Amino acid sequence: MKNNDLAVVILAAGKGTRLKSSLAKVLHRAGGRTLVEQVIRACAPLGAKRTIVVVGHQSEVVMATVEPLGATTVLQQPQHGTGHAMQVVRRALGNSKFAIVLPGDAPLVRPETLKALLATHRSANAAATVLTAVVADPRGYGRILRKSDTAISAIVEESQLSGDQAEINEINSAIYCFTLEKLWPALAQVKPNNKHRELYLTDAVAVLASKGEVVLAQVAADPCEVLGCNTRADLAEVDRIFRDWKRLALMDSGVTIQLPETVLIDPDVMAGEDTVIEPGVQLLGKTKIGARCTIRAGSVLSGAILADDVVVEAHSLIADSRLDDGVIVGPFARLRGGNHLKARVRVGNFVELKKSVLGEGTKAMHLTYLGDAKIGSKTNIGAGTITCNYDGFHKHPTTIGNKVFIGSDSALVAPVRVGNGAFIAAGSTITENVPADGLGIARGRQTNKIGWASKKRRELASSPSDKKITPKKSRRNSKKQKR
């Protein structure tokens, strides 16, 4: 869809005083994205000729957030209200006939709702069309004064309510469609008649209505779409709704989510059919999960790419890693960035991996650190194996071949290579390459002292001073203990 006569204007210059934050309001996040990004994304399907974001507080950071998303910015400095913001943006609107104006802090609006708003506006040839919602608790929002079933006469801000206007439960979403040639003269008549001495865009709506222009209200089908994020509690509520939507979308596509309200899923996450997600899981960033996978309780995946039939056992952390078909990791595994686990690899409890490749069918089941390691297929990494990849100055690689057996409690001091089919004896500290099919053994040789223990016992039994502790000694010992 293309609308060449349309501009989108997102008002994002305000500080967000009620959030009590050093971060500008529109940069707070809900549903895994900044508020302003959510709004820009909701507007994208309108196909407007230009999308302009009005910036003010922390303008540089807001600009850096929105410009990569295809929006241009206009600086409003200082901020004298939403009406003033529109005056500031006027030149940048060029020859646009219509503008859809949205606050940067109401991110739940759906593209279909905006399309319907534009369609209503166009077909009625209106001067302004206001998206409204009927809500149970209208506190904090501007209230809609109705002229008729479709038309409105004014919007009254919360701070200016009089008489029984507080009872009105139809609220202003602050999302409007304006015919711009009608808006400008109306805005010129608006006065800062409020306690903040601001120019309210809402007052321009009343001016238009008083001039007899067509000012329509379109009621949002789903009132949650207009929720604004003025407080931390609002942010939490809006985030909850986004997360709900995402979980429902995944469930609709064939994913099982147990106790869904405990599971946090970012917007770009994908998961295939018959995958099961257990309680308390977080799926973050661009995590992509194949079909028939199981992500057990309490695991956190961020930027993880899982093929099919992968099992992530409970309480595992997987960041920026690729797991091929049939891999099993955890419980309590930690995969830091840059790992590739090929088909049917098994990584068990308390295993940490970083920038490592494990070939098909390789196992590292217990208490191991593998960093900068390249490991072939069908290799067994014994319990407690450590790749010593850092010498205090630089990182070094460890290369292990196919069908290798690394005995438990081995330290592989990198850079080092272990050839195909080689064995490493348990408890070895390997500092030199081990050739294919060889045995690397590097540890103190054991000596057994025959009869040593029984001799010791006999000695102790025959020595009376060792049987009883003398009172003097015991006093000294107890003092020592106290110290």
Site for Mg ion, rule CB under 5 A: 105, 228, 230
**Cα(134)–Cα(18) distance, integer angstroms:** 24
Beta carbons of 352 and 346 less than 8 angstroms apart: no
Q: Which stretch binds ligand UD1 (CB under 6 A): 98-106, 295-303, 435-443, 473-481?
A: 98-106
Q: Which residues contact 66 (CB under 8 A, 6 or more apart)?
A: 10, 12, 36, 37, 40, 53, 55, 73
- Choose, from 80, 340, 366, 396, the residue flagged as catalytic: 366
CB of 246 to Mg ion, least distance (A): 23
Interface characters, 23-62, with ligand UD1 (x: CB under 6 A): --xx---------------------------x-x------
State the amino acid at position 273 in one-letter form.
E
For ligand UD1, which residue of 3, 51, 79, 282 counts as binding (CB under 6 A)? 79
Q: Which single residue brings its beta carbon nearest to ligand UD1?
A: 142
d(CA 61, CA 80): 21
Cβ nearer to ligand UD1, comparing 241 with 442: 241
Q: Taking CB within 5 to 8 Å according to partner kind, which of Mg ion, ligand UD1, none is near residue 102?
A: none
For 180, which DSSP code? Answer: H
β-strand pairing of 423-424 with 3-12: unpaired
Which of 224/343 has CB closer to ligand UD1?
Answer: 224
Measure the CA–CA gap between 309 and 329, rounded to whole angstroms. 12
CB of 175 to ligand UD1, least distance (A): 8
CA atoms of 68 and 41, how far apart (whole Å): 12
Listed ranges 7-15, 318-326, 348-356, 438-446: which one lies at the site for ligand UD1 (CB under 6 A): 7-15
369 binding ligand UD1? (CB under 6 A): no
Q: Is 129 an interacting residue with respect to ligand UD1 (CB under 6 A)?
A: no
Q: 134, 216 in Cβ contact below 8 A?
A: no
Nearest distance, CB of residue 233 and ligand UD1, angstroms: 14
106 makes contact with ligand UD1 (CB under 6 A): yes
- Which residue among 48, 74, 152, 174 contacts ligand UD1 (CB under 6 A)? 174
Strand partners, 319: 302
Report the DSSP beta bridge partners of residue 12: 55
H and E: helices and strands count for the chain: 10, 39
Question: Does 13 interact with ligand UD1 (rule: CB under 6 A)?
Answer: yes
CB of 189 to Mg ion, least distance (A): 24
Known catalytic membership, residue 80: no
Contact 338, 321 (CB under 8 A): yes
CB of 287 to ligand UD1, least distance (A): 30
Contact partner at residue 202 from Mg ion, ligand UD1, none, CB < 5 to 8 Å by partner kind: ligand UD1
Amino acid at 349: N
Q: Which residues contact 25 (CB under 8 A, 6 or more apart)?
A: 12, 14, 15, 16, 19, 35, 57, 104, 105, 229, 230
* Helix locations, 161-210, DSSP H: 180-188, 201-210
Crossing angle for the helix pair 180-188 and 201-210, to the nearest 10 degrees = 100
| Binder among 31, 32, 104, 401 for ligand UD1 (CB under 6 A) | 104
> Minimum distance from CB of 11 to Mg ion (Å)?
9
The DSSP H or E segment spanning 350 is strand 346-354
- Least Cβ distance, residue 199 to ligand UD1 (angstroms): 8
- Residue 209 C-beta: closest distance to ligand UD1, Å: 15
Q: Which of the choices Mg ion, ligand UD1, none does residue 138 contact, using the CB cut-off of 5 to 8 A by kind?
A: none
Please give the single-letter amino acid code of residue 28: H
Three-class secondary structure of residue 195 per DSSP: coil
Q: Is 63 exposed, middle or buried (0-12, 13-18, 19+ CB in 10 A)?
A: middle
Nearest to ligand UD1 of 4, 17 (CB atom): 17
- When binding is defined by CB under 6 A, the residue of 9, 27, 171, 351 that contacts ligand UD1 is 171
To which H or E segment does residue 218 belong? Answer: strand 215-219
Taken in order 280, 281, 283, 284, is the CA torsion positive or negative? positive
Nearest to ligand UD1 of 6, 39 (CB atom): 39
Q: Which stretch binds ligand UD1 (CB under 6 A): 170-178, 213-221, 245-253, 265-273?
A: 170-178
Residues that bind ligand UD1 (CB under 6 A): 11-14, 25-26, 54, 56, 76, 79-82, 84-85, 103-106, 141-142, 155, 157, 171-174, 200-202, 228, 230
Cite the active site residues: 366
